[in-house]
Amino acid sequence: MSESRHKKPVLYSYFRSSCSWRVRTCLNWKGIDYEIKPVNLLKEEQEVPTLEIDGLVLTQSIAIIEYLEETHKENPLLPEDPGERALVRSIVQAIASDTQPVTNLRVIKYAGEDHKEEWAKHWMSVMFKGIEDQLARVAGDYCVGNKVTLADVCLVPQVFNAQRVNVDMTQFPTIQAIADRLLELEAFKRAHPYRQIDCPADLKEN
Amino acid sequence: MSESRHKKPVLYSYFRSSCSWRVRTCLNWKGIDYEIKPVNLLKEEQEVPTLEIDGLVLTQSIAIIEYLEETHKENPLLPEDPGERALVRSIVQAIASDTQPVTNLRVIKYAGEDHKEEWAKHWMSVMFKGIEDQLARVAGDYCVGNKVTLADVCLVPQVFNAQRVNVDMTQFPTIQAIADRLLELEAFKRAHPYRQIDCPADLKEN
């Protein structure tokens, strides 16, 4: 086993990147001590999130959080039952595949400077409608019943993004209530963009 | 255990939907006998793919194939090692999150009738560049080494989509060679859009 396996994990992160935020939440939730190396996403220096852990260099947020789930069994973020796991992952994918990539910075820029907010708002509203309907059926305190799962890890950053482009969240009361509840939890609070070391001073909270 | 658990799985599928195609390939690969109910995606009758299996109704292709992987251990599509699993899932996500959703039908339509092909071509080219670079490092006969994985299941439909919008695939020789190799395998052949019952006669192959 190489020495690198015993080093503290390093997360390359950008404070406002929702994919970085997912990984920060997951690391916090699992009680994994890690170091953050900030990357300025606007300058596109490096792919975020990237996690150096166990001698590996991992990319893509969902691949990373599935890895953390498989290798750190404490504080699980997936249920044991395969059907429930599929349900959690379907919500993860509704956010991480259907919603976030269509509304990320480079895509909305390409859609045209004049239409940026309109584009993001349109797609988030369309996608949130489907997620709201699904959550109205399966949610408890959190996305799937009363335990925090990977679906919740993905939901919070997406709600933050929606609020930034002025999506009318009163249309999505289940989503909003769950996100509010999650942000009372320490692991989620500490992962918030405004608590990150690379957050500009005028936005920063402590 | 309810009676529904013993029924043949039913897949709601559209012949040209790349997400349906992923699930068809996976079911074929695992040797699971299933029935296809065609859905006309253009009329948006129902979410595809949807899989009725084991008394459950599953949506979202990646959630479905992870479920099949967890419940049908034969012919695995993920390696055993967590680091390798993360690598496979990072390629899955590069396709299923970064590429496909940004270039699917409803998004390119919204981008504007005049720019449809240009939009799809632009994003597929950008994303394939990253995937090509990654595969050049980790591929063997298939995406990750010499065993077929979920990354391959996702790659083939995306290459088909790229060819449909005239992406210059000579820029991506590793991707193209792997896709060609995969389409020689029976499970992939049988999942091809042109072999589906809802494929129009003028496109159909047998």
The pLDDT, as a whole number, for residue A64 is 98
DSSP 8-class letter at B53:
E
Q: How confident is the model at residue A46 (pLDDT cuts 50, 70, 90)?
A: confident
Is residue A186's pLDDT more than 60?
Answer: yes
Q: How many whole angstroms separate alpha carbon B53 and alpha carbon B201?
A: 30
pLDDT reported for residue B104:
85
Nearest to A90 among B58, B102, B110 (CB): B58
First-residue to last-residue Cα distance in chain B: 39
Residue A1 has what pLDDT?
46
Percent of chain B surpassing pLDDT 90: 82
**Residue A10 binned pLDDT confidence (cut-offs 50, 70, 90):** very high
Query: Would you state the pLDDT for residue A192?
Result: 98
At the top level of CATH, the class of A82-188 is mainly alpha
Lookup result for tokens 């992987």? B69
Q: Which residues in chain A touch residue B66, judged by CB atoms under 8 angstroms apart?
A: 85-86, 89
B123 Cβ under 8 Å from any chain A Cβ = yes
Q: What is the pLDDT of residue B173?
A: 98
Specify the CATH number of the domain B10-75: 3.40.30.10
Count Cβ atoms within 10 A of the Cβ of residue B176 and give its class: 0-12 exposed, 13-18 middle, 19 or more buried: middle
What is the rounded average pLDDT of the residues B42-65? 92
Question: Which pLDDT score is estimated for A176?
Answer: 98
Q: Give the per-residue pLDDT at B110.
A: 85
- Domain extents in chain B: 10-75, 82-188
Distance to chain B for A95, nearest Cα, Å: 9
pLDDT classification of B26: cutoffs 50, 70, 90 = very high
Give the model confidence (pLDDT) of A91-104 as tens digits: 999 999 999 998 88
CA A42 to chain centre: 19
* Mean pLDDT score, B128-147: 97
Alpha-carbon distance B135 to nearest alpha carbon in chain A (angstroms) = 14
Q: Is 60 exceeded by the pLDDT of residue A3?
A: no
Is the pLDDT at A17 greater than 70? The verdict is yes
Residue B102, phi then psi, degrees to nearest 5: -75, -20
ipTM exceeding the 0.85 mark? yes
pLDDT per residue as tens digits for the range A112-158: 878 888 898 999 999 999 999 999 999 999 999 999 999 999 999 99
Residue-level pLDDT at A43: 76
* Strand (E) or helix (H) holding B81: none
Alpha helix locations (H) across chain B? 18-29, 61-71, 82-93, 105-110, 116-138, 150-164, 173-182, 186-191
**Is the pLDDT assigned to residue B3 strictly greater than 60?**
no
Mean pLDDT of A8-14: 97
Asked if B26 is an interface residue toward chain A (Cβ–Cβ < 8 A), one would say no
Alpha carbons within 13 angstroms on the beta-carbon side of residue B183 total 17
What is the arithmetic mean of pLDDT over B59-69? 98
Residue B61 has pLDDT above 90, yes or no: yes
- Fold assignment, A11-75: Glutaredoxin (3.40.30)
Can you tell me the mean pLDDT for B21-35?
Answer: 98
Between B117 and B30, the more confident residue is B30
Disruptive mutation site among B4, B57, B97 for chain A (greatest number of A CBs within 10 Å): B97
Query: How much is the average pLDDT of A77-81?
Result: 98
Query: For residue A125, which of A180, A171, A160, A178 has the smallest C-alpha distance?
Result: A171
Q: Does B94 touch chain A (CB under 8 A)?
A: yes
Query: Exposure of A127 by Cβ count < 10 A (0-12 exposed, 13-18 middle, 19+ buried)?
Result: buried
Indicate yes or no: CB of B107 within 8 angstroms of CB of A94: no
> Cβ B70–A54 below 8 Å, yes or no?
no
How is B105-164 classified by DSSP, letter by letter?
HHHHHHT-GGGHHHHHHHHHHHHHHHHHHHHHHHBSSSSSBTS--HHHHHHHHHHHHHHH
Report which secondary-structure segment, H or E, holds B12.
Answer: strand B10-13
Mean pLDDT of chain B: 93
Going by pLDDT thresholds of 50, 70 and 90, the confidence category of residue B1 is: very low
